[in-house]
């Protein structure tokens, strides 16, 4: 499951379109979205009710001026600009007509929370709200809602609330929500009003809900801008059976990652943060599911393009795994990579790891390549300067030599696949040994118990 937040407008559109309830929901689709690029003349034509709803606040800028000239804000240490606004009709009501309702997914099922005192001062709803668990494959009934959630709700509103909550839960399940909160939910003699809504949906259910969802947008969190490169990678991901993900955290950061595997990407990012690089971590992403060479190339060149746009006085670092498509991208970007003083740290496995070693010689870029004998996060410590970079020449290439432990010891093999060509000196490199003539397979004795040798046959 990939829970992603959607905008309040999208959440209300889903609710107004698809909820099934006997409760009278008011102000359906009666809202207007405002951005800095909004044409107010056109907006009032499309939404005539705005002329009576939008008013100038005394001693404050006019509403159009306030929203078309946004200022930076800081919320919980996140700095950004509020760019999207939703204008809705004002709903006169009393405090006792405000309620709180929330549904969220858990391992054991879905929890429904209700509190009879909603609004901005609702407080700690986990401690105060009535809670009902709907187990997997179970249904929610109005009788259960009245019995377990509406004990303290006004008697004359229980029927309306029970019908609405059941309809809301069915909508939540049908459209694969993972979180759906309304606060306040206003219930008057006229009906039900959805004043404020927050929601997340399971993005992996797109193929199931495509007809009802449409082309849903997932806005970035406050303080982080949406980048066209992210949209480009998302488009590649949508057209591929593989997984290609990219989130830009800090485009001016000096630590970038290109990692194969979703689990590995988390490990790398966590290690970077644990070692004090959280403020310099530029991106989060991963490629997995056997993407083609062209897809890997497109993914890598997108990251390298972002990384080489602004120089950093201390240079930049790339940590990750290697693949042929990435090798191609590095070759194409070797000029900008040298100019920006980029050092690349690679930890990879597989029989083609020598290609990464050779690349360090042919491009002149400081590339440090390590094999499976090196812990996958060790290169993070090297990149951040927390541990020395081994300076050992690569061993002679042998087919699958990384699978064999010639010493017979159960411990990790010696680091024979480690190389840092940018650091190596000619004097440090041992001369290659002459290959011994191979004997026929029939003349090779079988391994003896405890001898520590293994016979490999085809």
Q: Does residue 418 have a pLDDT over 50? A: no
Interval 128-154 mean pLDDT: 93
Angle at 270 between CA 268 and CA 276, to 5 degrees: 105
Listed as own residue / partner, the contacts of 53-57 with beta carbons closer than 8 Å and 24 or more positions apart are 53/87, 53/89, 53/90, 54/87
pTM flag (> 0.85)? no
CATH number belonging to the domain at 1-27+93-223, selected among 3.40.50.300, 3.90.550.10, 2.60.40.1220, 3.30.470.20: 3.30.470.20
Q: Does residue 196 have a pLDDT over 50? A: yes
221-232 pLDDT, tens per residue? 877 778 899 989
Residue 194: name the closest of 421, 9, 447, 363 by CA.
Answer: 9
Q: Which residue has the tokens 């004002």?
A: 90
Choice between 72 and 331, residue whose per-residue pLDDT is larger: 331
Identify the helix (H) or strand (E) that includes residue 134.
strand 130-135
The pLDDT score that the predictor gives to residue 412 is 42
Domain map (residue ranges) of the chain: 1-27+93-223, 32-87, 228-398+414-429
Q: Does residue 80 have a pLDDT over 90? A: no
The pLDDT score that the predictor gives to residue 290 is 87
Interval 59-76 mean pLDDT: 57
237-270 pLDDT, tens per residue? 988 889 999 999 989 999 999 988 888 889 999 9
352: confidence class by pLDDT, cuts 50, 70, 90:
low
Choice between 62 and 265, residue whose per-residue pLDDT is larger: 265
Interval 161-168 mean pLDDT: 96
3-state secondary structure of 193: strand
Q: Does residue 15 have a pLDDT over 60? A: yes
The pLDDT score that the predictor gives to residue 410 is 45
Angle at 15 between CA 12 and CA 21, to 5 degrees: 145
Interval 65-93 mean pLDDT: 75
55: confidence class by pLDDT, cuts 50, 70, 90:
low
Q: Does residue 421 have a pLDDT over 60? A: no
3-state secondary structure of 214: coil
Q: Does residue 398 have a pLDDT over 70? A: no
Q: Tell me whether strands 98-106 and 109-115 are parallel, antiparallel or unpaired.
A: antiparallel
N-term to C-term CA, the chain: 43
pLDDT above 90 covers a percentage of the chain that reads 41
Q: CATH says 32-87 is which class?
A: alpha beta
* Residues 301, 295: Cα–Cα separation, whole Å: 10
Choice between 176 and 327, residue whose per-residue pLDDT is larger: 176
List Cα–Cα distances, 420 to 363, 370, 417, 427, in angstroms. Answer: 13, 8, 10, 14
- Asked if 455 and 441 touch (Cβ cutoff 8 Å), the reply is no
- Asked if 337 and 326 touch (Cβ cutoff 8 Å), the reply is no
Choice between 68 and 279, residue whose per-residue pLDDT is larger: 279
SS (H, E, C) 291-356: CCHHHHHHHHHHHHHHHCCCCCCCCEEEEECCCHHHHHHHHHCHHHHHHCCEEEEEECCCCCHHHH
Interval 407-428 mean pLDDT: 43
272-296 pLDDT, tens per residue? 999 999 999 999 999 988 899 899 9
Q: Which residues contact 211 (CB under 8 A, 6 or more apart)?
A: none
- pLDDT, averaged across the chain: 80
Q: Does residue 214 have a pLDDT over 50? A: yes
271: confidence class by pLDDT, cuts 50, 70, 90:
very high
The pLDDT score that the predictor gives to residue 391 is 72
Q: Does residue 358 have a pLDDT over 70? A: no
Q: Does residue 403 have a pLDDT over 50? A: no
Handedness of CA 150, 153, 159, 165 (dihedral sign): negative
Sequence length of the chain is 458
109-128 pLDDT, tens per residue? 999 999 999 988 888 988 99
By the 10 Å C-beta count (0-12 exposed, 13-18 middle, 19+ buried), 415 is classed as middle
Q: Does residue 455 have a pLDDT over 60? A: no
70: confidence class by pLDDT, cuts 50, 70, 90:
low
The pLDDT score that the predictor gives to residue 93 is 92
CATH code 3.40.50.261 for 228-398+414-429? yes
364: confidence class by pLDDT, cuts 50, 70, 90:
confident
54: confidence class by pLDDT, cuts 50, 70, 90:
low
């Amino acid at each position: 499951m990939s829970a992603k937040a959607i905008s309040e407008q999208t959440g209300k559109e889903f609710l107004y379109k698809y909820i099934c309830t006997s409760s009278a929901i008011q102000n359906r689709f009666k809202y207007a979205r405002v951005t800095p690029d909004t044409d107010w003349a056109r907006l009032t034509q499309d939404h005539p009710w705005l002329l009576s709803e939008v008013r100038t606040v005394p001693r404050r800028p006019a509403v159009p001026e306030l929203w078309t000239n946004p200022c930076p804000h800081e919320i919980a240490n996140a700095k950004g600009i509020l760019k999207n606004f939703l204008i809705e009709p004002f709903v006169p009501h009393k405090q006792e007509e405000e309620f709180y309702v929330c549904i969220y997914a858990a391992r054991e099922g879905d929890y429904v929370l209700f509190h009879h005192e909603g609004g901005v001062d609702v407080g700690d709803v986990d401690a105060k709200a009535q809670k009902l668990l709907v187990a997997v494959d179970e249904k929610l009934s109005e009788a259960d809602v009245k019995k377990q959630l509406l004990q303290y709700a006004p008697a004359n509103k229980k029927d309306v609330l029970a019908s609405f909550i059941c309809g809301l839960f069915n909508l939540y399940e049908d459209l694969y929500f993972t979180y759906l909160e309304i606060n306040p939910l206003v219930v008057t003699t006229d009906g039900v009003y959805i004043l404020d809504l927050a929601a997340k949906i399971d993005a992996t259910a797109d193929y199931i809900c495509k007809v009802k969802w449409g082309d849903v947008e997932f806005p970035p969190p406050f303080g982080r801008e949406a980048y066209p490169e992210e949209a480009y990678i998302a488009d590649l991901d949508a057209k591929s059976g593989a997984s290609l993900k990219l989130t830009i955290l800090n485009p001016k950061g000096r630590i970038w990652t290109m990692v194969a595997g979703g689990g590995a990407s988390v490990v790398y990012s966590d290690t970077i943060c644990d070692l004090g690089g959280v403020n310099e971590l530029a991106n989060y992403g991963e490629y997995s599911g056997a993407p083609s060479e062209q897809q890997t190339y497109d993914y890598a060149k997108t990251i390298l393009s972002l990384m080489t746009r602004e120089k950093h006085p201390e240079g930049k670092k790339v940590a990750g795994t290697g693949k042929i498509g990435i090798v191609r991208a590095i070759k194409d970007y070797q000029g900008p990579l040298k100019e920006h003083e980029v050092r690349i740290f690679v930890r990879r496995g597989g029989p083609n790891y020598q290609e990464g070693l050779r690349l360090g010689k042919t491009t002149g870029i400081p590339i440090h390549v390590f094999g499976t004998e090196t812990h996958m996060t060790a290169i993070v410590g090297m990149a951040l300067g927390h541990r020395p970079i081994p300076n050992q020449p690569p061993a002679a290439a042998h087919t699958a030599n990384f699978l064999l432990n010639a010493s017979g010891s159960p411990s990790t093999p010696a680091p024979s696949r480690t190389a840092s060509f940018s650091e190596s000196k000619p004097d440090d490199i041992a001369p290659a040994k002459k290959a011994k003539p191979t004997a026929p397979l029939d003349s090779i004795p079988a391994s003896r118990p405890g001898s520590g040798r293994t016979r490999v046959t085809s």
